[in-house]
Amino acid sequence: MSIQMYGFWRSIASFRVRVALNLKDLAFEEIPIDILSGEQFESGYAAVNAERVVPTFIHDGHSVFQSLAIIEYLDEIHPSPRLIPLDAKERAYARSLALMTIADGHPLVTPRVRNHLAKSFGADAHAVEAWGKHWTAEGLATYERLLAHRAPAPFALGAEPGLADICIAGHVVTAQYVKLDLNSYPVVARLAERCFAIPAFATSHPFEQPGYKVASKQ
């Protein structure tokens, strides 16, 4: 099985797919697309992904985009270990937790949105950071409330990490970006700690990617 992923070190959606691939122990080649400099809008990449976003996942020449669609696809073609449980109610719970950041929190803090805030409302760096902090804190608070109803044991759905943990860990990385501390969200903080103690999560962290190391030296 040949797998390529067009991704970016800072992209949380790329992080999610990276963790999924690493948890399943699947080798892949990551091709960097610098979404901060706008490389996704260049014609070469537009031919790869008509939405002009990362990640794009290529499996034996077949391409899939949108991180949740990619992780579901991976779980279907390579179910071991399962990231989404088999039971319908448990699957729904895993997807609900995932979508809270994929469909609610994270879309509000992507580079295209930050750029458009600056362009539309003259938002400066401070105002854009405050915007990011607001939505990221909302998401953390929601996860904290939800996990209070069903405590992680020790991961969101049970003994093994899966889709929900990947998405919550990604939200915690966003919190690191906007310099939010997790003191008010102890259940989320403990869950993220357990995740990042696992090599598949730790090595997928944006700050562990080659692109970050280059960017941080500039």
Site residues (vs a copy of itself, CB under 8 A) = 50-53, 62, 64-66, 68-70, 72-73, 76-77, 88-89, 91-93, 95-96, 98-100, 102-104, 106-108, 113, 116-117, 120-123, 127, 130-131, 134, 142, 145-146, 149
How far is it, in rounded angstroms, from Cα 110 to Cα 52?
A: 13
| Edge-to-edge strand ranges of the sheet holding 62-65 | 29-32, 3-7, 56-59, 62-65
Whichever of 31 and 108 has its CB closer to a copy of itself, that residue is 108
The least distance separating a copy of itself from the CB of residue 128, rounded to whole angstroms, comes to 10
Q: Minimum distance from CB of 138 to a copy of itself (Å)?
A: 8
Please give the distance of CA 156 from its chain centroid, rounded to a whole number: 16
**Min separation Cβ 42 and a copy of itself, Å:** 15
What is the crossing angle of helices 125-149 and 111-121, to 10°? Answer: 130
Please identify, using beta-carbon distances, which residue of 82 and 91 lies nearer to a copy of itself. Answer: 91
Which lies closer to a copy of itself via its Cβ, residue 36 or residue 108? 108
Q: Distance (Å, rounded) from C-alpha 58 to C-alpha 5?
A: 6
Phi, psi of 207 (to 5 degrees): -75, -5
Least distance to a copy of itself, CB of residue 195, Å: 21
CB of 68 to a copy of itself, least distance (A): 6
SS3 letters for 82-104?
A: CCCCCCHHHHHHHHHHHHHHHHH
Nearer to a copy of itself, 149 or 217 (CB): 149
How far from 188 is each of 90, 143, 151, CA to CA, in Å? 19, 7, 10
Pick between residue 78 and residue 198 the one whose CB is nearest to a copy of itself.
78
